[in-house]
Amino acid sequence: MMSTLHFRPTPLSQRRQRVPDAPVHYTKGYFLLRFLARALGEETYFSFLRKFVHLFHGQLILSQDFLQMLLESIPEDKRLGLTVENIIRDWLECSGIPKVMGRENLYLPCGNT
């Protein structure tokens, strides 16, 4: 029987960095995962995450593979136009955090302001 994972959001202002000057990519990763949870729906996202952790516990997984599995677990009409390619381009290959837009566009692509 799989135990239930419980996640509580922590406002960034209440986060304590354990290591001074921790790499920015950890904070950016947090924002990407929160973006995905909100864009796809937290119930859907955390359901996928529980299954993912159960299946791949202790294994190394590439970001591309994680994103591919996540999007494949969501019906195409609920993906809001998200693709592995545009997530990698806009979140992982660009500096900074994409500017979040309305739910229709989600965010401005890399390089746009």
- pLDDT per position in the chain (113 positions), as tens? 444 545 555 555 555 555 555 576 678 888 899 999 998 999 999 999 999 999 999 999 999 999 999 999 988 888 888 999 999 998 888 887 787 654 444 554 555 54
pLDDT for position 102: 47
The domain locations on the chain are 23-113
Rounded-to-integer distance, Cα 55 and Cα 32, Å: 22
pTM summary value: 0.67
Q: What is the CA radius of gyration of the chain?
A: 15
Burial-class residue 45 by CB neighbours within 10 Å (0-12, 13-18, 19+).
buried
